[in-house]
Copies of this chain bind each other. A is one copy, B any other.
Amino acid sequence: MKDHIYKHIELTGTSTVSIEDAVNKAIKRAHKTLKNLSWFQIVETRGHIGAGAVQQWQVTIKIGFALES
């Protein structure tokens, strides 16, 4: 098990569909500019309400990724 250093960042993904979709949208965006994304953890699940229903899921996650040494 090699000794890596990992960095954590915090993002909020949004989706009209589901919690899982909001998480995947945040990860997809992070993947555009960061390599080695490794794990995530849900920090908070909120959302926007309109017309008596959820209009948007807003899921905040921490993402961990290995830094190049």
Contact = CB atoms under 8 A, between A and B. Distances in A.
A67 B69 CA distance: 23
**Size range of the interface on A?**
35 or more
A41 to B, nearest CB: 5
B39 A49 contact: yes
Interface of A: 1, 3-16, 18-20, 23-31, 37-42, 44-57, 60, 62-64, 67, 69
Contact of A52 (B1, B13, B37, B44): B37
A35 to B, nearest CB: 10
Contacts of A29: 5, 67, 69
Contacts of A62: 10
